[in-house]
A and B are shown apart, each in its own frame.
Chain A
Amino acid sequence: MELKKPPPVRQLGLEPTAEVHTPLAPPAPATTNGNGHRPDPGFVAAPRHVTRASYALDRMQIDEVSVSYGAKEAVSSVSLPIRQGEVLALIGPSGCGKTTLLRSLNRLAELGNAVTQRGQITLDGVDIGTMEPTALRRRVTMVFQQPNPFPMSIFDNVAYVLREQGKRRPRKATLREPVREALTRAGLWDEVGDNLSHPALRLSGGQQQRLCIARALAADPEVLLLDEPCSALDPQSSQVIEDLIVKLREEVAIVIVTHNLQQAYRIADHVAFMYLGELVEYGTAERIFRSPREDRTGEYVSGAFG
């Protein structure tokens, strides 16, 4: 068998003069605003298919938030805005606290043992600590790394979110329209619309993940949290979901945690780089990837560590 050299996807920043074949895109152009001290971070840009956000509306405000597991501080004193109309990507190496931060946005983090949190997170000006968790989680929904549809039909997966607890379950007919709408928003209706009684776990991985997004959208949330939603999927399914995320940012504020730097670059409007629980740098995706201000950020986005 003929041995092929795997195509380098991104240039490692160890040796700045190393020659790299870039089959995907031309080398990153030098920064245009010229305020970065690292004009060429060595990051090979994938084509960025995001146009500038048309508007941005502040939804959540993270204010000096620290989260600790027992004595270990996982997130220390992070402040960030979360806006509708934009995609915010949290990047950073494993264990840097980005998932913990994401999970504290819908108070899922506090379900763990010995979790303490300081600081304040507000949703539309209201401290989320004062809200009932279930009410909060209907407004700030979440999609996980592994596709996890419930073991029921496609219809029931989405309808589950709409069925209120404690009250009489609404009739199936009244749920049909909102279910259709949620599946349409998640771009799944064309594929499953005529077979809603199909068991959800029989869908493909990418379809399952879009079903999970549909489920999260069915609650009509203000903020959608995505915890590495594409890491268990193949590139084609990832692409579909990335397009979907970009489309959805108009209707809902999106926060995405990702290990995939190219993905963050492709879809995010703002990027927050976290390291060892601290927020190192926050800025537009263009700036973070092309002219990071902090050395750590530059090293991370150029692949020196992480």
Chain B
Amino acid sequence: MSATGVTVVQPPPAGAPTPRRVERTGSWRLSDRIGLAFAWFLGLLFCVIAASIVIYLLVQGLKYVRPGLLVTHPTVGYNENQTGGFLDPLIGTAIVAGLAMLIAVPIGVGVAVWLTEYGRPRALARVAESTIEMLAGAPSIVLALFGTLIFQSGALGFLSQETGGIVYGRSFFAAGAMLSLIALPLIVSTVREGLQAIPMHVREASYAVGKTKIATTRRVLLPAARPSVITGAMLGVGRVIGDTAIIVVLLGATQNLDGVGSTPVLGTLRGTGSTLTSYIYDNAPTGELNQPHKAFAAAFVLLIIVLVINAGVDIYSRRARRLRWS
């Protein structure tokens, strides 16, 4: 800098590379620096809280989890050595997740396609949108209560146990159906985002070779949005297997799979059972069974499942994002 205020750029001496200059916060305003420090503090605090929950559960769980627990049926016993494992809740978790996805994925994709690609009349689309939002915000116990109302009605007796005209209203069908409502908003919003991310000119390219809107949706848009469908479904599974209220109210939370009738698969689906969440609920110190060691072991398994699903979503969506239009 010369005295006249004219900057003279000196050419760097040959051979020695100029050190790369980086921005320093030293020149910032005080409020900005405090803000930055606060943001760092909150971010780290959040990491610490999340990590401590996970680590605590992992440590507690690792103490009590035994591979045998995963393959033995729960039984009634006087102490924790006699009450078996949680094979049935594990199967129950898989069943409700599968059922809920079977219902939620087609409906969710359909709703998302309609909202994004059609959405007429506008008013109806707006109603649908706010319904989805309302569903996303509804406490699952409310949905569960609503579910008992539906599934105890006489006409739906074939979905659960019916004795002497009284419909029990608790079954895998009932729980899966209501759990699908929990996964639905997640799937709809993920698929919508996926569809909205497809540039308009891609749709037009399909119209411009004489394709109809429905053919475009079916052959171009849905394949392009497949990663978001899968991501949404996986997120939905994560939500569904973590829900307790609907399981307790609509699945009966019986320790074992308690089928109805003799038909193998249908009987199980019509019958009651439990999932890992309801198993944890029952075995927690405040629960009916009060077997905290079992509860911790089950929580450990559940946590691992959720973590694996989330990691899977992360890796998958990152990989799927690589092939996009500019």
Contact = CB atoms under 8 A, between A and B. Distances in A.
A106 interface: yes
B287 interface: no
B201 A216 contact: no
Nearest to B215: A165
B209 A146 contact: no
Contacts of A161: 209-211
Most buried by A among B202, B205, B325: B205
A166 B205 CA distance: 19
Nearest to B320: A151
A232 B201 CA distance: 14
Q: Interface range on chain A: under 10, 10 to 19, 20 to 34, or 35 or more? A: 20 to 34
B208 interface: yes
B303 interface: no
A81 interface: no
Interface of B: 199, 201-202, 204-212, 214-215, 219-220, 223-224, 323-326
Interface string A133-163: 1111110011011111011100000001100
Interface in A100-123: 106, 108, 111
Most buried by A among B199, B210, B214: B210
Nearest to A145: B201
Given A150-B206, A150-B223, A165 B323 contact: no
A80 to B, nearest CB: 20
Interface of A: 106, 108, 111, 133-138, 141-142, 144-148, 150-152, 160-161, 165, 199, 201-202, 205, 212, 215-216, 218-219, 225, 232
Contacts of B211: 134, 137, 160-161, 165
A108 B224 contact: no
A146 B325 contact: yes
Given A141-B210, A142-B204, A151-B220, 10 more contacts: A108-B208, A137-B208, A137-B210, A142-B208, A144-B204, A144-B208, A147-B325, A148-B202, A165-B215, A216-B208
B208 A141 contact: yes
B224 A151 contact: yes
A164 B205 CA distance: 16
A201 B199 CA distance: 14
A135 B211 CA distance: 9
What are the nearest 10 A-B pairs in CB distance? A138-B210, A142-B208, A137-B210, A201-B323, A134-B210, A165-B215, A161-B209, A151-B224, A144-B201, A148-B202
